[in-house]
Amino acid sequence: MAPTRMSPPGGLRRGVLFDVDGTLIDSSYIHTISWWGAFRQHGYDIPMASIHHYVGMGGDRLVDSLLPSDRDRDADRDIMSSHGALYASHWPALRAFDGAKDLLAQCHAGGLAVALASSARKKDLQVMKATLDADAYIDGATSANDAKESKPAPDILVAALEAIGVEAGNAVFVGDAVWDMKAAAALGIPSVGVTCGGISATKLRDAGAVEVYEGPRDLLDNLTSSAIGRLLADQP
């Protein structure tokens, strides 16, 4: 049963946006190995460590960042399709991080609008939502089709804000990648980093995170003192 939701008076809506891959779902390294395989299928031997650094960007930007500028760009779409197929083969192995569902539930119960600000393909997002099993606590969700430009451009965050009817000044964003932090900074949204996606706290802070936690459970355990907690406390 969903927890009782407390709505703020006066119609002022506040919200929290969550990245999904590497933030709520343990998938960053699955994406890394899927990109690695896709590149190899098309004749590129890219080290996994280099790939992981760019996971969290949109696929188009990731490919452009890792491959030679003088390549045949007509093959980029095929590489992204190969990545998608390889990633899909891992769907049965996807798992939510400890505390992910509870974190969404607590934000929802506190009266915050909750959005999944994902740039994943629609099919991947559907699978990840099923893995989270938290639809009762999610007010909106985005996919790659909802943004013209991918992260670190802020388009997907704009789409997520619109989906839940929240202004940027009344939101907090939670993500695991440098590109998440940069996207939030472009809109002036405070960003909370989590290291469960494999990016260090130092790199996340350097990219603009106002605070960093180990993962959803750590953030939930410290929710009251976090940026989300302050958003809850500031509700009218």
- Read off the pLDDT of residues 110-168 as tens digits, 9 standing for 90 and up: 999 999 999 899 999 999 999 999 999 999 999 988 988 989 999 999 999 999 999 99
- Per DSSP, the three-state class of 5 is coil
DSSP state of 232: H
- Read off the pLDDT of residues 86-115 as tens digits, 9 standing for 90 and up: 999 999 999 999 999 999 999 999 999 999
Angle value at C-alpha 57, between 54 and 63, nearest 5 degrees: 70
Q: Does the structure show a pLDDT above 60 at 5?
A: no
Q: 228 and 118 share a domain?
A: yes
Domain count along the chain: 2
Residue 12's pLDDT band (boundaries 50, 70, 90)? confident
Please report whether residue 142 resides in a domain.
yes
List of residues 6+ apart from 22 with CB closer than 8 A: 28, 31, 55, 56, 176, 177, 194, 196, 197, 198
- Between the alpha carbon of residue 197 and those of residues 24, 177, 211, the distances in Å are 9, 7, 15
Q: 59 and 141 share a domain?
A: no
**Contact call for residues 164 and 113 (beta carbons, < 8 A):** yes
Please report whether residue 46 resides in a domain.
yes
Residue 236: its pLDDT value, please? 63
Q: 84 and 123 share a domain?
A: no
Residue 119: its pLDDT value, please? 86
Q: 34 and 104 share a domain?
A: no
Residue 3's pLDDT band (boundaries 50, 70, 90)? very low
Q: Where are the extended beta strands (E) located within 83-122?
A: 113-117
Please report whether residue 2 resides in a domain.
no
List of residues 6+ apart from 144 with CB closer than 8 A: 58, 59, 119, 120, 121, 122, 150
Q: 68 and 164 share a domain?
A: no
Helices (H), 189-233: 201-206, 216-221, 227-233
**Contact call for residues 198 and 28 (beta carbons, < 8 A):** yes
Q: 17 and 32 share a domain?
A: no
Q: 152 and 198 share a domain?
A: yes
Q: Does the structure show a pLDDT above 80 at 70?
A: yes
Which of 49, 75, 92 is the last residue before a domain boundary? 92
Q: 82 and 165 share a domain?
A: no
Please report whether residue 3 resides in a domain.
no
Q: 18 and 83 share a domain?
A: no
Please report whether residue 64 resides in a domain.
yes
Identify the CATH number of the domain in which residue 195 sits. 3.40.50.1000
Q: Which domain holds residue 169?
A: 9-27+94-233
State the Rg of the chain over Cα: 17
Identify the CATH number of the domain in which residue 67 sits. 1.10.150
Tokens matching residue 132: 């989270």
Q: Does the structure show a pLDDT above 80 at 235?
A: no
Q: 162 and 224 share a domain?
A: yes
Please report whether residue 1 resides in a domain.
no
Q: What is the DSSP string of 117-184?
A: E--S-HHHHHHHHHHHT-GGG--EEE-GGG-SS-TTSSHHHHHHHHHHT--GGGEEEEESSHHHHHHH
Q: 88 and 101 share a domain?
A: no
Single-letter code of the amino acid located at 31 = H
pTM: 0.93
List of residues 6+ apart from 167 with CB closer than 8 A: 161
